[in-house]
Amino acid sequence: EAGVAQSPRYKIIEKRQSVAFWCNPISGHATLYWYQQILGQGPKLLIQFQNNGVVDDSQLPKDRFSAERLKGVDSTLKIQPAKLEDSAVYLCASSLPGGNTEAFFGQGTRLTVV
């Protein structure tokens, strides 16, 4: 079974530039998550999708971050413009619906903003 695919693995950009991350979840997983993991901290949920609808985006900085999941499969997360404090690993995860199911994580995209 293929896992959660993310690209790129690494990205270095200058502040005020824009960047986009891509995620392809496990086939059949209706729930998709984007997390931000700052060095030394646990993951922080940015946005949760159920199919192509947003379930929770309360912690997404909407002035600069956006995410979409067209057709309820792949998803993209965009940052525009980036700030130094956005340097982090961005993790995508997917799961079957419901709380008693395992979330499977991709390897993440390490973003460095200089």
Partner 1 sequence: AQSVTQPDINITVSEGASLELRCNYSYGATPYLFWYVQSPGQGLQLLLKYFSGDTLVQGIKGFEAEFKRSQSSFNLRKPSVHWSDAAEYFCAVGLLDSNYQLIWGAGTKLIIKP
Q: Footprint of partner 1 on this chain (CB under 8 A)? A: 3-4, 40-45, 48, 55-56, 91, 93, 98-100, 102-103, 105-108
Cα torsion 20, 60, 91, 13: sign:
positive
In this complex, which beta carbon is closest to partner 1, that of residue 64 or of residue 110?
110
Closest separation in Å from C-beta 43 to partner 1: 5
Question: Does residue 86 sit in helix, strand or coil?
Answer: helix
**Min CB(11)–partner 1 separation in Å:** 15
Q: Rank residues 18 and 51 by Cβ distance to partner 1 and give the closer one.
A: 51
Q: Where are the beta strands (DSSP E) in 16-81?
A: 19-24, 31-37, 44-50, 53-56, 65-68, 75-79
- Looking only at the bridges linking them, the beta strands covering 109-113 and 10-13 are parallel
CB of 42 to partner 1, least distance (A): 3
